[in-house]
Amino acid sequence: MPEAAPSDPPAKSAKRKKKFKWRPWLRALHRDLGYLAVGLTFVYALSGLAVNHIADWDPNFSNFEREFVVEAPLPEGDEQAAAAIVLSAAGIDETPLDVYSPADGELEITLETSTLFVATETGKVYEEGQKERFALRAANWLHLNRGKKAWTWFADGYAGALILLAVSGMFMIPGRKGLVGRGAVLVIAGIAIPLAYLAYVGGP
Amino acid sequence: MTDPKASTSLAQSIARRDFIRKAASGTVIAAFGGGLYALSDHLTSEAKAQTRADGRARIPPGQRVISALKPMGGQPGDPSRGNVKIKIHGEVDNPFEVDFRELLAMDVVDTRADVHCVTGWTMLDARWKGVRVKDLAAKAGLKKTARHVIFEAAHGYTANVRLDEGLADNVLVTWEHDGRPLRRPHGAPVRALVPDLYFWKSSKWLTGIRFTRRDQPGYWETRGYNNHADPWKEERYA
C-alpha cells in the first residue's frame, strides 16, 4: 500500500497548528540562569548585608587586644632575643614579620595578625590585632571588586543575568489575568518603593 | 447545652482582650527600649548644647556621638612601624621620605580632636599624637603653585583635601590614639587626621602626601561621595 503523500490535507493542517511555544524556553532560561546565579547571589547578598552595617561592626575582621607583663628588664641591644622572650611568654609560636625598636625602651613585634608593643624596662606588653572572618572577607572582596581585572567582567555578567532573571520572571508563568493581575501590582510596588523613598528624602 | 452565640461572643471577647494585652505589652517594651536609647544617647544631647571655638556647633547635623572609634574597613597596609616610609612629594622643592624614627624626632604634638564619620557617628575629644602636615610641607619646601593635598595610602587609596584645609593646625600624620599605638583597623602604623572633614579624608595606612596644582578626586570621591566633605554642611554625597 502506498504511503500517504506529504501533501495530504490532514497532516498539513496538523503541522500548521504546531506553533512555537516561547514560555517553556523562557522558563528553561530563567531556571538555568537561576542555577548559575545562586553562588554569586549568596556572595553579593551576604556581603551586602555585612557591608551595609559597617558602622556597627567590622565585616572583615574580628579585632582583639590584651595586656600582659613579662619578666623585665629585657635584653638591651638584642631585639631578636628580647622578642623571643616576649613571644615565648605570650605562648606565641610564630616567626615575627618584623622586630623594631622605634625609640629607647620600646620594642615592637609585628606578627601576621597582631602587633606586640613592649616596654623593655618594665616588661609591659600591649598586643592588638585582628582575625580574618575568612568567608565574609572573601565575599566582601568580591562584592567590592577589590581585585578589579577579570572580576569586573564576571560582575557585569552577573548584573546582566539579574536583569534577564527579572524580565523573564515576569513572563515565564502566565497568571490568570496575564500581567495585569497580581503581577502588575507587585511590579508597580517594586518600582514605587525606591521612587517613594527618593521623593521622601528629596532626591540624591 | 452551650449556647453557640454566647460561646462565639465569649471567644471574641477573649481574643480582643488577648490582642489588647499583647498590644499593650508591645507598646511598653517599645517605649522602654526607646527610653533606654534616649538615655544612652545623652552624649549626643550634651554635645548638641555645645559650641566650638570657631562658632560652629560641636556636633555636625545628622551625627550621633559614640564613645570609641569604629572600624570602617578598607584594605590594610603593612602594619609594621619599621617599614614606614611616608613620601612627601609633588609641588615641593625638596621631596623626601620620612621613616617612623624620623617622625618621632620631629615636632610631635599631642592633641585632642573630634572626628566625624560620614555614616553618622562622631567621636568627641579623641586624643591623637603625631606631626603636623604643615610642618612636613614646610620641610619639603611647599611651592606657591600647590593648591591641593592628596593623602596616599596602601593599595592605591587616595583622599583629596584643599590646601588650606590640609595645612590646618589640627591636621596630622598620626600614630597614636588615646594613648595607645594606632590599631590595625584604624590604619596602623600611621594614618592621616583631618578632623574637620568627614573621616574618610583621614587616609588610613598612609604611604605619602602629595601636593598638587589641580584637584584629583580620590577613592570615595570618585564613587559618589562628596569631593569636599564638610560635616557641618552635610556634604556626604556628590
Contact A161, A31 (CB under 8 A): no
Option in A63, A103, A204 nearest B71 (CB)? A63
Are A98 and B83 inside 8 Å of each other by CB?
yes
- pTM of structure: 0.75
Residue of B70, B79, B237 with shortest CB distance to A204: B237
ipTM: 0.72
Q: What is the pLDDT averaged over residues A62-82?
A: 92
Please give, rounded to a whole number of angstroms, the shortest distance from the CA of B186 to a CA of chain A. 11
Q: What local confidence, expressed as pLDDT, does residue B5 receive?
A: 54
Tell me B215's DSSP state.
-
Mean pLDDT throughout A35-64? 88
pLDDT (0 to 100) of residue A202: 86
Q: What are the backbone angles phi and psi of residue B97, rounded to the nearest 5°?
A: -115, 145
Query: Minimal Cα–Cα distance from B14 to chain A, Å?
Result: 36
* Integer angstrom CA distances of residue B39 from B30, B32, B44: 14, 10, 10
B185 in reach of chain A (CB within 8 A): yes
Interchain contact, B184 vs A97, CB within 8 Å: no
Angle at alpha carbon of residue B4, lines to B2 and B8, rounded to 5°: 120
- Interval A113-164: pLDDT, tens: 999 999 999 999 999 999 989 888 888 888 887 777 888 998 999 999 999 9
A43 and A50 Cβ atoms separated by less than 8 Å? no
The pLDDT value given to residue A5 = 47
Mean pLDDT of the region A58-79: 91
d(CA A173, CA A26): 9
Average pLDDT of the residues in A70-75: 92
- One DSSP character per residue, B8-37 reads HHHHHHHHHHHHHHHHHHHHHHHHHHHHHH
In Å, what is the CA distance from A194 to each residue of A47, A166, A201?
A: 21, 16, 11
| pLDDT value for A4 | 46
CA–CA separation, B24 and A137 (whole Å): 43
Q: What are the residue ranges in chain B where pLDDT is below 50?
A: 1-2
Question: B143: how many CB neighbours lie within 10 A of its CB?
Answer: 13
Neighboring chain A residues of B155 at a CB cutoff of 8 Å:
146
DSSP states along A30-71: HHHHHHHHHHHHHHHHHHHHHHHTTTTS-SSEEEEEEEEE--
Q: Which runs of consecutive H residues, i.e. helices, occur in chain A? A: 9-17, 22-52, 79-90, 134-143, 151-171, 182-201
Radius of gyration of the CA atoms of chain A, in A: 32
Minimal C-alpha gap between B190 and chain A (Å): 13
- Element at B101 (helix H, strand E): helix B100-104
Question: Among A125, A85, A122, A92, which residue's Cα sits nearest to residue A108?
Answer: A125
Q: Which helix (H) or strand (E) holds A116?
A: strand A114-119
Amino acid B2: pLDDT: 45
Query: Which residues fall within 8 angstroms of residue B67, CB to CB, at 6 or more apart?
Result: B43, B123
Measured distance CA(A178)–CA(A183) in Å, rounded = 8
- Is B106 in contact with B84 (CB distance < 8 Å)? no
In A71-150, alpha helices (H): 79-90, 134-143
Summarised one tens digit per residue, pLDDT across range A125-136 is: 999 999 989 888
Least Cα distance to B89 among B165, B146, B130 occurs for B146
Dump pLDDT digits (tens) for B97-150.
Answer: 999 999 999 999 999 999 999 999 999 999 999 999 999 999 999 999 999 999
* pLDDT, tens digit, 9 for 90 and up, residues A178-198: 778 888 899 999 999 999 999
Helix A22-52 and helix A151-171: axis angle, to 10°? 130
The proportion of chain A whose per-residue pLDDT surpasses 90, expressed as a percent, equals: 53
What cell does A39 get? 553562588
Among A59, A62, A138, CA closest to B73: A59
CA distance A58 to chain B (A): 6
With CB atoms and an 8 Å threshold, state whether A128 touches B183: yes
Query: Residue B69: which of B113, B131, B129 has the closest Cα?
Result: B113
- Judged by CB atoms closer than 8 Å, whether chains meet at B185 and A61 is answered as yes
Considering only CA atoms, give the Rg of chain B: 26
Are residues A197 and A204 in contact, defined by beta-carbon separation less than 8 angstroms? no
Q: At B126, is the secondary structure helix, strand, or coil?
A: strand
Size of interface A-B (CB pairs under 8 A): 70
